[in-house]
Amino acid sequence: MAQEGHRVGTDINGQCHITWEASYTGTFEVDTTLHVSTVAWAQRPSLEVRMEWTGDQFIQLNANHMDTHEGWWDGDDREIEGSVSISTSFDEVTTAGLSYSHALATSQMTQNYEVWWAEDQRLQLSSQSNYSPTGGSATMTINTPFTIQNIVYTNEYAFANNQLSASGTITVDGEVINYEMTGTLDVENIAVDTTLEITTPYSGYESITSHVNYNMANNEKTLSIHSEWSGDTMDFEVTMSAANVITSHMEMTKASTGSVVLDWSLTPSWPNFC
């Protein structure tokens, strides 16, 4: 024997509720309920579906979403939240789902995301940032149920009068990597000259220094990188002349074994179709 029915109702706030129910009774019994709540996006419409059958077995799906912004993204203040989850009576998968939130305000942004496939198996990511044309800061945190369980990234930067500086940390399960960058950035002439210093807790790489120079303002375009760590060095340079001749030089030197040098050049020859 099967039975079904539905109800539609509206509360005093104008919110619409739709409930659909169905049941089947035979060699076993199944009951299914669908509940949908609809209203303006800012008021978090929701969906719930639940199926039950003999032996206290069940599967349930829940979903909801909220968006305070009406229309396409245009940089205004905005908040988004939502989640989708499933719960069951099965020992193999008792719960799984994802949730998200995003808040955007003037020069500030906050985000949170979470995915789970068991109560103790959750992957979480959160970030907060402040930004402006002359500087800002950011923090990102990742928590996992894997071998690496916690990663935290922090960053601060400043830019004014073509002077660029940035610093931050990357912390992996309590081990801290620090970095600091200073230099110049000429946006108009597409030129960069920076020095990056990194310190780590890892043997052989306790201190790393790199100098990067990139220039496209002249007829001859150049990129050069020089890095040093624990007595070892690496130099890389590539140049493109006004005649489109590309040359490159790379040299790696290890204190224990000596140097390896690689040089090459390329002159493109474009086919003449005339």
Note the pLDDT tens digit of each residue in 125-180: 999 999 888 999 999 999 999 999 999 999 999 999 899 999 999 999 999 999 99
Per-residue model confidence (pLDDT) at position 189: 81
Q: Label residue 73 by pLDDT band (50, 70, 90).
A: low
Can you read off the two tokens belonging to residue 2?
């099967």
Q: Is the pLDDT of residue 229 over 90?
A: yes
Q: Label residue 78 by pLDDT band (50, 70, 90).
A: confident
Single out the residue of 154, 174, 173, 155 nearest to residue 164, CA to CA: 155
Tell me the whole-structure pTM to 2 decimals: 0.77
* CA atoms within 13 A of residue 43's CA, in its CB half-sphere: 8
Per-residue model confidence (pLDDT) at position 71: 53
Per-residue model confidence (pLDDT) at position 148: 96
User: If you write DSSP's letter for every residue of 236-271 in order, what string do you get?
Assistant: EEEEE-TT--EEEEEEEEETTTEEEEEEEEE-----
- Rounded Cα gap, residues 238 and 220, in angstroms: 10
Contacts of 91 (CB under 8 A, 6+ apart): none
**How many other C-beta atoms lie within 10 A of the C-beta of residue 217?**
11
Higher pLDDT: 76 or 72? It is: 76
Per-residue model confidence (pLDDT) at position 18: 64
Q: Label residue 187 by pLDDT band (50, 70, 90).
A: confident
User: How many residues appear in the chain?
Assistant: 274
Per-residue model confidence (pLDDT) at position 68: 78
Can you read off the two tokens belonging to residue 160?
């004014």
Per-residue model confidence (pLDDT) at position 34: 64
Task: Identify the three-state secondary structure at position 2.
Answer: strand
- For the stretch 20-53, pLDDT in tens is 666 656 555 666 666 666 555 556 788 888 888 8
Ranking 73-77, 202-206, 241-245 by mean pLDDT, the lowest is: 73-77
Q: Is the pLDDT of residue 274 over 50?
A: no
Q: In the predicted model, what is the mean pLDDT of residues 188-215?
A: 93
Per-residue model confidence (pLDDT) at position 35: 64
Beta strands of 133-242 (E only): which ranges? 135-143, 150-160, 163-172, 175-186, 191-199, 207-215, 221-229, 232-240
Per-residue model confidence (pLDDT) at position 28: 57
